[in-house]
Amino acid sequence: MEITGETDLFYIVGTPVRHFRAPILFNDYFASCGHNFCCTGLNVQPADLADALSLVRRIENIRGLCITAPHKIAAASMVDLHTREATQAGSVNFVRRETDGTLTGHNLDGLGFLRGLKGSGFDPVGKRVLLLGAGGVGRAIAFSLAAEGVTRLLLANRDTAKAHTLAAEVARATGIKAMATGTGALPDLSDFDLIVNATSVGMGGGGDMPMDLTGVSASATVADVVIGAQDTPLIAAAKRAGCSTMVGSSMLKPQIELSETFLYGTAKG
């Protein structure tokens, strides 16, 4: 990769960012698409996010941003335009700088998860799903799974009110049967074809589990959005139970591919 004055700059904005290997994936993929493009990390503290986005508005050779923890929800209130996916998720994980300096926010968590899931051999059409987490990632995944045609979606969250709110929004938008519960009142896991952890539990290698997999069917698929060098405790437990699994990194490559269309293609705010 040769960086010149004509190179489009792209930053992964979060904190901490030193451990990120995603810039390598972005740079390799965008180079393969023929773009003069350079991605690197930008370590931004929460108190400085608004200033960072204000600076991006004024720098013409910044193509866009990937927004990661802990900024996805805050960034949604700081951009100028939103795609439908960003509005539904209530969070932003990609930002495109328009030629006039305005910022369009997008969310590819749901679409990336869906592509990763299908790439892992699971077709969600007609399936019964238990989804843990009603934050930005959980919201994005819930809408994508519902739109894809799951027959039953149970949303579980520590804040039960948030789960009920999301279930009502998903049902209203897609017409599927979406229900809600607290994480302490989960039903028999054998009733589900797909179990998804869309919380941060399991991040950092501490051994924490977002839920007990007792009773899960060996024919079920268990997916975790947490990305780590090794299997998360949930994925390790699922493998021991004989389940098929999808690791968090499986939703990263599809998002990189989809972001190329958003940044250089026809996706509109």
Q: Which residues are catalytic?
A: 72
Place of tokens 């995603």: 22
Please tell me what DSSP assigns to residue 6. T
Could you tell me the end-to-end alpha-carbon distance of the chain, in angstroms, rounded to an integer? 30
Element (H, E) at 26: helix 22-32
Residue-level length of the chain:
269
Report the distance separating Cα 54 and Cα 58, nearest Å.
7
